[in-house]
Amino acid sequence: MESRIAQSIALKYHPVVVLLADEKPQNALQFKKGKWGCVMFMFANAAKGKTVAFDRETYGCWGGGVGLGFGNAYLNFPGGVECFSYFLSSGNIQWEKGKAVAGALEGSAGKAFAEDFLHGEAYVETPQLVEQFIKDLPITEIKSRYVLFKPLSEIDPANEQPETTVFVVDPDQLSALVILANYGREGMENVIIPWAAGC
């Protein structure tokens, strides 16, 4: 399938389609079971022409698991949602449970993650604001086994139903997409950019 939009705005990379599937394509890239990895690394592979698959055991990171629709993966974060809330904000070093979990992590997750875990990533000011952020997320449980990222050009419209299509754009191309999104619609707020983590 080709995209007239992609051609019109001269995209450098393939538009990436997100699909739900119960079977994994044979050539799909996938993280190893239980291993950490960034969903955006896999997205970059899809934008360069590869097919990627995720399931409930291979989503890479906790936020990626939530974003892909595998439920509240923050429950699986070391120390649970509570430690995640400190991790994303002020760090786990100031309380006993956080320090205990960090001590166990250093051997298994590596020193760099253990340091971030202890001192926090400072995406949000307080653990309480992180907890509210999680409550406000549209956490969903997909019914299919896999989430696939595929280049739009490899989609078979007779057999595959995309959930969404993602365009990797520069600022000028983004402006063109915003104008296009408003072209045939009433109102001034057809495009929003909600806050999210860097990845």
User: Parallel, antiparallel, or unpaired: how do β-strands 146-151 and 16-21 relate?
Assistant: antiparallel
- What's the pLDDT score for residue 174? 94
d(C-alpha 48, C-alpha 14), whole Å: 6
pLDDT at residue 188 in the model: 82
Cα gap 192→178, rounded to integer Å: 9
Q: Whole-model pTM?
A: 0.88
Residue-level pLDDT at 2: 84
DSSP 7-25: HHTT-SS--EEEEEESS--
pLDDT digits (tens, 9 = 90+) for 119-150: 999 999 999 999 999 999 999 999 999 999 99
- Sequence-ordered strand ranges (E) for 84-195: 146-151, 164-166
Contact 6, 167 (CB under 8 A): yes
Report the run of H or E that residue 175 belongs to, with start and end.
Answer: helix 171-183
What string of pLDDT tens digits covers the 199 residues of the chain? 888 999 999 999 999 999 999 999 999 999 999 888 899 999 999 999 999 999 999 999 999 999 999 999 999 999 999 999 999 999 999 999 999 998 888 766 777 888 899 999 999 999 999 999 999 999 999 999 999 999 999 999 999 999 999 999 999 999 999 999 889 999 888 888 887 776 6
pLDDT at 118: 94
Task: Tell me what pLDDT residue 198 has.
Answer: 63
Residue 108 pLDDT: 67
**Phi-psi region at 86: left, alpha or beta (left = phi > 0; alpha = psi -120 to 50):** alpha
CA atoms within 13 A on the CB side of 83: 21
What per-residue confidence (pLDDT) applies to 15?
A: 97
In whole angstroms, give the CA distance from residue 59 to residue 73.
9
pLDDT computed for residue 35 by the predictor? 86
